[in-house]
C-alpha cells in the first residue's frame, strides 16, 4: 500500500500553499483510493523546538556509528533523552512510512516558516538516508523569485530546501511547485502584477494536481 505524508506549515488557514497541497493530495487520493493518507498540520499542532536531550541523541548516534534509522532508539539512554525521543518517534515514523512526502511551504521572510524548520530539525539525524522517497514542495511567495528576476538572489526558500534534502536526506530530485506574486492580491503597489500572479497560481494548481496523479500511479 502506497502512503502519502502531507505536511502543511502555513500560518493561514486558507493559503495558496494549502490550496496547492489540497490539489496534489486530492488528485493523489483519487488515483490511489486504497493508499494511506497522513496529514500533519504544523500550524494547528506545532512541533516544539529541539533541546539539549535531542543533541545528546545525535552525539550518541555519531559516537556509536549508528546510521540505520531502525537502530536510532539505541541512542536513547536517559530519561531526558526518552522524553525527547517521544517527540521525535511519531514524526519520524510518518516520514519513514511514506512513499511520497508533500510539504506545503510558503515563503516567509525569504525562507521557510519556523514551524516547518522545527519539524525538519526534529526528524533529521546525522548521516541518515531517505533515498527512494519522493519529496514534493508546494509553495507560495509574495513576490517573484524565479531565475533572472531581481529578487532571485534572495530565494532562501526553495534553495534552502533543495540543499537540505540533498545534504541531509540524500534526496536530489525534489519537485517544487510555486505560486508567485501572491502579495499582488492585497498590496496596491503590486496591483499591476495581479494578472501574472493569477496565471502563476492557475499553472501551479494544474501542475500540483497533475503531479499528484502521476506520483500515485
Which residues are annotated binding-site positions?
A: 10, 15-17, 107-110
Classify 57 as helix, strand or coil. Answer: helix
Give the residues across from 102 on adjacent strands.
6, 136
Can you read off the three cell numbers belonging to residue 57?
A: 541523541
Annotated binding site for FMN: 10, 15-17, 107-110
Q: End-to-end alpha-carbon separation of the chain, Å?
A: 12
Residues 119 and 47 sit within 8 Å (Cβ to Cβ): yes
Task: Return the half-sphere exposure (C-beta side, CA atoms, 13 A cut-off) of residue 173.
Answer: 6
CA distance 23 to 170: 27
CA distance 138 to 162: 13
CA distance 120 to 164: 9
Amino acid at each position: 500500500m502506497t502512503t502519502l505524508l502531507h505536511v502543511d506549515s502555513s500560518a493561514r488557514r486558507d493559503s495558496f500553499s494549502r490550496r496547492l497541497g489540497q490539489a496534489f493530495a486530492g488528485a493523489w487520493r483519487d488515483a490511489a483510493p486504497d493508499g494511506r493518507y497522513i496529514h500533519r498540520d504544523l500550524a494547528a499542532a506545532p512541533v516544539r523546538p529541539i533541546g539539549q536531550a535531542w543533541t545528546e541523541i545525535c552525539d550518541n548516534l555519531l559516537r556509536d556509528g549508528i546510521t540505520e534509522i531502525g537502530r536510532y532508539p539505541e541512542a536513547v539512554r536517559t530519561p531526558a533523552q526518552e522524553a525527547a525521543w517521544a517527540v521525535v518517534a511519531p514524526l519520524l515514523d510518518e516520514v519513514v512510512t511514506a512513499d511520497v512526502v508533500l510539504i506545503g511551504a510558503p515563503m516567509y521572510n525569504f525562507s521557510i516558516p519556523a514551524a516547518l524548520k522545527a519539524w525538519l530539525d526534529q526528524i533529521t539525524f546525522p548521516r541518515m538516508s531517505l533515498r527512494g522517497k519522493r519529496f514534493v514542495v508546494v509553495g507560495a511567495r509574495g513576490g517573484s523569485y524565479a531565475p533572472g528576476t531581481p529578487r532571485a538572489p534572495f530565494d532562501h526558500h526553495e534553495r534552502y530546501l533543495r540543499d537540505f534534502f540533498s545534504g541531509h536526506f540524500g534526496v536530489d530530485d525534489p519537485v517544487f511547485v510555486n505560486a508567485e506574486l501572491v502579495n499582488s492580491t492585497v498590496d496596491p503597489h503590486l496591483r499591476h502584477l495581479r494578472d501574472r500572479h493569477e496565471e502563476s497560481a492557475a499553472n501551479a494548481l494544474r501542475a500540483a494536481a497533475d503531479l499528484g496523479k502521476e506520483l500515485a500511479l
